[in-house]
Amino acid sequence: MRYTERITLYEALSSGYNPETGQHGFRVDEGTTLPCNVSPMSIEKVKTVFGSTDQFVTTVRLQRPFKGNADKATIDGNKYNVLRHVRHRSESVFYLEEVSAWN
């Protein structure tokens, strides 16, 4: 398995109304960039695991276990919400859903 992609994992710090911009904002930490393997999940497996066919889920595997908490992620400038983080002894697996903006 090749780990040629790069993922940046973020932990959510806070969210709320920003009076300067007049919109609800979302703050995250500086992020951790790691090498990963990215693969899309089939619709049948998404239905089996998550119970819905209207989600597009991407599976991301890391070479080593990720011990921190991650709520958000970016890959090639695309934003993702972390649906599930599975910690194995030798690796970590993230199930991500692509979103246009974090909320």
pLDDT in tens, 59-72: 999 999 999 999 99
pLDDT tens digit sequence for 50-101: 777 667 888 999 999 999 999 999 999 999 999 999 999 999 999 999 888 7
Global confidence as pTM: 0.80
Tell me: the pLDDT tens digits for 22-33? 777 777 778 899
3-state secondary structure 10-55: ECEEEEEEECCCCEEEEEECCCEEEEEEEEECCHHHHHHHHCCCCC
CA neighbours closer than 13 Å in the CB half-sphere of residue 46: 17
d(CA 57, CA 34): 19
In sequence order, what are the beta bridge partners of 15?
26
